[in-house]
Amino acid sequence: MVEWITSDSLVSYEEATRFMEERAEAIARGDAEECIWLLEHPPLYTAGTSARPEDLTDPDRFPVHVTKRGGQYTYHGPGQRVIYVMLNVAERGKDVRCFVRQLERWVILALEEFNVTGHIRDGRVGVWVERPEKPLTPSGAVAEDKIAAIGIRLRKWVSFHGISINVEPDLSHFGGIVPCGISEHGTTSLVDLGLPVTLADVDVALRRTFEVAFADDAAPTCEVG
């Protein structure tokens, strides 16, 4: 059984981290159910375990939180749906790479609810959308923008941290970092793509697609890449 929590007001990063760590410990002990927490943060940057100092291009713009999740720099703020996943990975195959693929698949399935095609790219964790209306990249490839970031941490085989999907954030706020250390591609959101989608709409899509993304017959997804 997975408990779903939705916070309507902005949640500080410190409060969220404290809750996740305590809940993950309780899940590992068998004292609490798994949990999906849907929330928004005030504007802030987070630095994952692979973050490079040079990718923080405007360190005074927003608070910067150093975190032990995987990944590099990312932005969180209003209009972005943050999904913290406190799930028992030991009971879900005990395969971290597969688990990340399932998270990516979950985002892709949720985006499909809005007729948006998300892509997984080797070497670039997260979910991307093609932007053929934009100029080609310097390497001559079709332009792609990131619509969702993924970064997790495991403790005693229980995950925490998770996913952020750009619904209607201020995309200029990403300008203070090189998101996920990738400068060749940009960042987009559902509203930026021309879709009048709300956080509540995304929440419905996430709930509707969760079981499908993590179903046993979705295992071949883990073999991609």
Active site residues: 180
Q: Is 150 annotated as a binding residue?
A: yes
Whole-number Å distance between alpha carbons of 149 and 174: 12
Q: Is 69 annotated as a binding residue?
A: yes
Quickly list H helices, 113-151.
none
Q: Is 72 annotated as a binding residue?
A: yes
Map 90-114 to HEC letters. HHHCCCHHHHHHHHHHHHHHHHHCC
Q: Is 48 annotated as a binding residue?
A: no
Q: Is 176 annotated as a binding residue?
A: no
Q: Is 73 annotated as a binding residue?
A: yes
Tokens linked to 130: 């093609």
Q: In what order do the strands lie in the sheet with 44-47?
A: 64-66, 44-47, 73-76
Q: Is 188 annotated as a binding residue?
A: no
Run of H or E residues at 66: strand 64-66
Binding site residues for substrate, as ranges? 69-76, 149-151, 162-164
Binding site residues, as ranges? 69-76, 149-151, 162-164
